[in-house]
Amino acid sequence: MISSLSTILPQLPPFVPLLIGALAAIFLRGHLRSVIMLVTPIWGALQLAILDPGLYWTFEFIGYQLEPVRVDKLSIIFGYLFHLAAFIAVVYALHLKDTIQHVAGLSYAASAVGAVFAGDLLTLFIFWETLALTSVFLIWARRTERAYGAGMRYILIKVLSGVLLLAGAIIFINETGSARFSDIGLSHDGLLGIGAWLIFIAFGIKCAFPFVHNWLTDAYPEATPTGTVFLASFTTKVAVYTLARGFAGEEILVWIGVTMACFPIFYAVIENDLRRVLAYSMINQIGFMVVGVGIGTSLALNGAVAHAFNDVIFKGLLMMSMGAVLHMTGRINGSDLGGLYKSMPKTTILCIVGAASISAFPLFSGFVSKSMIMSAAVAQGYDVVWLLLLFAAAGVFHHAGIKIPYFAFFAHDSGIRTSEPPKNMLFAMAIAATLCVVIGTFPAQTVYALLPYNASYSPYDVTHVLTQLQLLFFSAMAFVWLNLKNMYPPELPSTNLDTDWLYRKLAPNFVVTIYRAITGGLSSIELRVTTYIKQLIGHSYDEENEQLKGYFSRLWPTETMVVWVALMLAGILVLYYV
């Protein structure tokens, strides 16, 4: 089969088919555009099937060998994942007539594919920046003031990440004499250590590390319903890939990952905007992946990669279900919703499948990958980490497994009566839901078969299943008890500040203080200058005799006055432009 494909398909860089689809979307319209957009992710996946492991299209640039395409087991699984995610997202967006979203979505997917196959740091930097430039249009495409502001903050953070990556790459290339992107690590001294840390921080920003995570919770909920599905699939997963490629086994990632897994729970529980709940949930799930990368064993890395694969599907399903709710009702706050199961029963069922998957119910996809990471933590003696991940897993069930479907489709009856979303949206959600069940039921024949490292693992043993079922049972009982006692945080129309407090509260207050100090100083200077001018005029004019007096009352030659006028004009111009 593969050999026959290699004779039919031309050998192209993996990102090219998706890029061709994006270019075609600029010029084509109607059903032809839809067909091309659907075909290009399939074509791209088939292109991957004919690429053997190795380097492709290498060339020399300013004395360094660049490797635009490197194919190995780690890059190939992310390549297949991104083509699958692009196909589902395209199906979900077929009802749109918005050229900007179609072009940006496929270009964004192409950039993600290019990044995971980049074999050198300079090629990675190029795709790192195009990821930011293409994805921001999916936020601005909503065409609201909030979306514009969130998009501007988003692009500034992403450009900062790119600048740090470029600076670190230049240092690393100069110190090592090679541009190859492989294991970097943090155990370097001197200038090389600075370069490694700059690259690490650049990856961390895009991975939504604590304190630099707010771009995700700020921007993703402001994107269009379809744009959020694309956004949830690519940027952070590219960052997880780069950490697995460059910093596997760095213990600092274990503790960063645990923090990421735990702190979003508290924000997600009190958040009213359900898409923002999912944004916090995304950080939580990335935390599990970062822990796996930090542990660095074959089992842990496989768990991180498998969980990234599954997260794209089940988080995409949840984002699609909330996008469908927003598309049909125009509302997304939990306080405004409820009772939608009556008019959107299919969407409700599909959302519950996504909720079961992210909560790691046995026979759903989240269970077969999350348990790998937790087993790896126990095997390496990270008992505290295991306990914290157990707490994080219980929190996921609360805010994503229960809260999302409960407050959107059940809870109180909001009185909203609508209909199911367009058929293409339902079909995309059905694809993702089916994959959640198939992967969860047959992991060895699906996602496990693609994993890059050799490590045997069986998720369905008595210990794993019973532990998870007990966790889910007691979490559910806690939710019910808190609700009955009216102790569960209510869904209220409110804005919860996170690290955005720095630019929503601290920065404005700081700027206002500085502005007042400057304007006060200028007013004082202006008063003194005015007083001096009045005194000067007073000394130059005799009010009693109504005639000029003093130095300035003298007659001056014309050429002298011309010089004075020229000096005055120059002074005015300097003051104006300064």
pLDDT tens digits for 62-88?
888 999 999 999 999 999 999 999 999
> Does the structure show a pLDDT above 60 at 93?
yes
Is residue 329 domain-shared with residue 282, that is, in the same domain? yes
Is residue 80 domain-shared with residue 154, that is, in the same domain? yes
**Whole-number Å distance between alpha carbons of 273 and 229:** 16
The pLDDT value recorded for residue 118 is: 96
SS3 70: strand
SS3 68: coil
Q: How far apart are the first and last CA of the chain?
A: 70
> Does the structure show a pLDDT above 70 at 496?
no
Is residue 299 domain-shared with residue 445, that is, in the same domain? yes
Residue type, 298: S
Q: What does the block give as tokens for 228? A: 């959020």
Is residue 204 domain-shared with residue 61, that is, in the same domain? yes
> Does the structure show a pLDDT above 90 at 501?
no
**Whole-number Å distance between alpha carbons of 238 and 131:** 9
Crossing angle for the helix pair 99-117 and 16-27, to the nearest 10 degrees: 170
**Whole-number Å distance between alpha carbons of 64 and 170:** 12
Strand partners, 59: 66
What mean pLDDT, rounded, does the chain reach? 88
Which of 454, 472, 494 terminates a domain? The answer is 494
pLDDT tens figures, 191-249: 999 999 999 999 999 999 999 999 999 999 999 999 999 999 999 999 999 999 999 99
The pLDDT value recorded for residue 484 is: 72
SS3 9: coil
Q: What does the block give as tokens for 65? A: 């060998």
Confidence bin at 40 (pLDDT 50/70/90): very high
What count of other Cβ atoms lies within 10 Å of the Cβ of residue 535? Answer: 10
* Residue linked to tokens 């007042």: 516
> Does the structure show a pLDDT above 70 at 536?
no
**Whole-number Å distance between alpha carbons of 410 and 73:** 43
Is residue 256 domain-shared with residue 285, that is, in the same domain? yes
Task: Answer for the pair 33, 81: CB distance below 8 angstroms, yes or no.
Answer: no
32 contacts: CB under 8 Å, gap ≥ 6:
none
* Cα–Cα separations (whole angstroms), residue 342 to 254, 339, 346, 410, 533: 44, 6, 10, 9, 79
> Does the structure show a pLDDT above 70 at 508?
no
Is residue 475 domain-shared with residue 557, that is, in the same domain? no
Is residue 407 domain-shared with residue 455, that is, in the same domain? yes
> Does the structure show a pLDDT above 80 at 380?
yes
Is residue 510 domain-shared with residue 374, that is, in the same domain? no
Centroid of chain to Cα 340: 29
| C-alpha gyration radius of the chain | 29
* Cα–Cα separations (whole angstroms), residue 159 to 131, 199, 560: 10, 14, 55
Task: Answer for the pair 436, 357: CB distance below 8 angstroms, yes or no.
Answer: yes
Q: Max CA-CA distance within the chain?
A: 112
Confidence bin at 316 (pLDDT 50/70/90): very high
The pLDDT value recorded for residue 318 is: 96
The percent of residues above 90 in pLDDT, for the chain, comes to 67
How many domains is the chain built from? 3
**Whole-number Å distance between alpha carbons of 300 and 94:** 38
Is residue 370 domain-shared with residue 223, that is, in the same domain? no
Domain boundaries, position 448: 248-494
Please give the helix or strand (H or E) that residue 66 lies within, else none: strand 64-66
Q: Which of 390, 389, 392 is nearest to 400 (CA)?
A: 392
> Does the structure show a pLDDT above 90 at 166?
yes
Is residue 237 domain-shared with residue 256, that is, in the same domain? no
Is residue 267 domain-shared with residue 291, that is, in the same domain? yes
The percent of residues above 70 in pLDDT, for the chain, comes to 88
Which of 180, 211, 243 terminates a domain? The answer is 243
The arithmetic mean of pLDDT across residues 288-294, rounded, is 97
> Does the structure show a pLDDT above 90 at 122?
yes
> Does the structure show a pLDDT above 80 at 522?
no
Q: Which of 503, 493, 491 is nearest to 214 (CA)?
A: 503
**Whole-number Å distance between alpha carbons of 81 and 435:** 12
pLDDT tens figures, 261-271: 999 998 888 88
Which of 228, 243, 258 terminates a domain? The answer is 243
Confidence bin at 275 (pLDDT 50/70/90): very high
The pLDDT value recorded for residue 469 is: 87
Is residue 73 domain-shared with residue 139, that is, in the same domain? yes
Confidence bin at 478 (pLDDT 50/70/90): confident
* Cα–Cα separations (whole angstroms), residue 110 to 14, 15, 230: 8, 5, 12
SS3 61: strand
**Whole-number Å distance between alpha carbons of 273 and 331:** 9
SS3 544: coil
**Whole-number Å distance between alpha carbons of 279 and 285:** 10
